[in-house]
Structure 1
Amino acid sequence: MNETIIFMGTPDFSVPVLKALHERHPVSMVISQPDKPVGRKRTLTPPPVAAAAKALDIPLYQPERIKEEEAVERIREVNPDLMITAAYGQILPKALLDIPRLGAVNVHASLLPRHRGGAPIHRSVLEGDTQTGVSIMYMEEGLDSGDVISQSATPISDDDNTGTLHDRLSEIGADLLLDTLPSILDETNDRTPQDAGEVTVSPNISKADELLDWNRDARDVFNHIRGLSPWPGAYTIFNDKRLKIYGANKPADRSDKNPGAITAVTDSGFTVACGDGYTIEVTEVQLSGKKKTNAHHFTAGRQDLIGAHLGQVD
């Protein structure tokens, strides 16, 4: 196979995909987002894919806006046979999608047509899905709406959160791409139009999405916490301060307390009443201005917590 391939990606999710692809079929150019200031010192830092491209000695291009004519012309000069994207982070214009002879394909972290959009991993956990997966799909102007080439599924267990699922789907995506690539290159692959009646959209996580609502069922609160763990973290209000909650155990005990009330201090942390009369056990927290800690340390010596109420202040 001597086809010229451009790879486009930005975050950690894309790195295993790039490495596996480049090992099997050398990539001619990597396109990633520009370096960004990171941390309190605002140190200019390359995104993970850009750092990986440098380590692999692959030519790297980091345009501010992929839609600009300069960027499109730069890619046209490479004359790629195929473009492969994985969480690149910008919408590709039709002028760019039309360049590769074999088209542009995307490694998308859901079983399309479910969870189109920018946060498919978060939303699959938040919405209580019992399985998800990776889709290899042709790109078109619509949002993740192109024909599906191949898919690979994985179950979502109660032990999963967005972090564990992210890492597993990244590896699944790398393997699925390698399995699918030969048929794409020799143009023998299947392509299945998505069922418009099954489409769901999963937009990026907003600040409003991070706030916990203890009036919801305990299972929903449990899914909310693990769906935003380890990033960006779900939060509630405790003593007028933001308390992020990163870990919880699934609903078990019943309680007659109002939603948001701390009902008990346990060996692992503390339990909180939810809207359906069940509690969840909180196991990992971070109070504003403090370091992340297990909830047992947070509650140490604080039996006065029982009866305290978590929730947004007016």
Structure 2
Amino acid sequence: MTSIIFMGTPDFSAPILRMLHDEGYAIKAVVTQPDRPVGRKRVLTPPPVKAAALELGLPVIQPEKLRGSEELQQILALQPDLVVTAAFGQILPRELLDAPSLGCINVHASLLPKYRGGAPIHQAVIDGEKETGVTIMYMAEKLDAGDIISQKAIPIEESDHTGKLFEKLSMVGCELLKETLPSIINGTNSRTVQDEAQVTFAGNISREQERIDWTQDATALYNQVRGLHPWPVAYTTFEDGNFKIWWATIGTNKHEAMPGTVIAIAKDHFEVAAGNGTALALYDVQPAGKKRMTAEEYLRGTGSKLQIGDQFQ
């Protein structure tokens, strides 16, 4: 029976691990990132893949850094036939890439060669892409640059946000890997070199990418808000504090106001001027120092003094 080491960390990866287990593959170990402090109370929390592995009764290895570590030697000593990764979060060293007889493969949440890197789902939504998908690929030392084995595309719906797409693409990844693994094991899979001329990158989201630029039109801002929902969340500034925008839609009011100006206030939302005469309608917000709330709650409470003409920066 083919022996596998699975490497992954976030919620996206856990269903893929469960699929491998349910299909009866011999999983020798699960490699994931170390437990991290989470939330305001900094509670030490295991990554989702660790929680799934322990539930399935699988041994877990958690290297802080894989290259040159004792954990790497522990992995190599298991002599797996195949390494399967899905959003593990570290580049594999050459020593590990060369070890398994069937190679190391990755379940990547984009249609490579587009969106190599750590935030392909976020970036596809922010960029207003109409489709995305999953690529099963051989791993290389260069980031997400290995040969493509199989791909499956899905549409990005206008109401999709990053959280929804994580769930959708995790399921797509499960099914595609399930379909593809037999051909990898028996050596009949296809292998396509990536076209370097078509490569784009999606690095981890920076703080600057989270900030709203009100001079952009409402479509771009809507894509930014949903691309950063439910994490890390878009923000603007208001009354000298950061003001998070958890959810918004394209507004209906046309205007000639300066971008960032409040131009309309309704019961359950308010509209802020964006570029090109468009507006963004805010429905789910978090003022500085406050909890997340609906715009209706905000307008009844903290934001009860909000007026047309007030300025977001």
Q: TM-score, normalised by structure 1?
A: 0.96
Cα drift, residue 74 of structure 1? 1.0
Structure 1 equivalent of residue 4 of structure 2? 5
2:236 and 2:31 mapped to 1: Cα distance?
A: 38
What do the CA deviations read for 1:84-135 (whole angstroms, capped 9, x no partner)? Answer: 0000011111111001100000000001010000000100011110110110
Aligned positions of 1:111-126 closer than 5 A: 111-126=111-126
Amino acid corresponding to residue 59 of structure 2 in structure 1: P
Cα drift, residue 38 of structure 1? 2.0
What do the CA deviations read for 1:211-261 (whole angstroms, capped 9, x no partner)? Answer: 100011111111111111110100001111111001111354311111001
Structure 2 equivalent of residue 310 of structure 1? 312
Q: Which moved more, 1:41-50 or 1:55-64?
A: 41-50
Aligned positions of 1:223-242 closer than 5 A: 223-242=223-242
Amino acid corresponding to residue 135 of structure 1 in structure 2: T
Cα drift, residue 35 of structure 1? 1.1
Q: TM-score, normalised by structure 2?
A: 0.96
2:7 and 2:121 mapped to 1: Cα distance?
A: 19
Residue pair 2:31, 2:60 contacting (<8 A) in 1 also: yes
Indicate the SS of the match to 1:310.
coil
1:158 aligns with 2:167: no
Indicate the SS of the match to 2:135.
strand
Structure 2 equivalent of residue 135 of structure 1? 135
What do the CA deviations read for 1:275-303 (whole angstroms, capped 9, x no partner)? Answer: 11111211110112111111122123736
Residue pair 2:299, 2:306 contacting (<8 A) in 1 also: no
- The 3 A distance-change label for structure 1 pair 201 and 222 is same
Q: Which moved more, 1:300-309 or 1:202-211?
A: 300-309
2:168 and 2:294 mapped to 1: Cα distance?
A: 24
1:275 aligns with 2:275: yes
1:246 and 1:281 mapped to 2: Cα distance?
A: 12
Structure 2 equivalent of residue 73 of structure 1? 73
Indicate the SS of the match to 1:112.
coil
Cα drift, residue 21 of structure 1? 1.2
Structure 1 equivalent of residue 174 of structure 2? 174
Cα drift, residue 193 of structure 1? 1.0
Runs of 5+ unmatched residues, structure 1: none
Runs of 5+ unmatched residues, structure 2: none
State the 4+ residue runs in structure 1 displaced beyond 6 angstroms.
none
Indicate the SS of the match to 1:107.
strand
Amino acid corresponding to residue 289 of structure 1 in structure 2: G
1:14 aligns with 2:13: yes
Indicate the SS of the match to 2:27.
coil
1:204 and 1:47 mapped to 2: Cα distance?
A: 18
Cα drift, residue 76 of structure 1? 1.3
Q: How many residues align?
A: 310
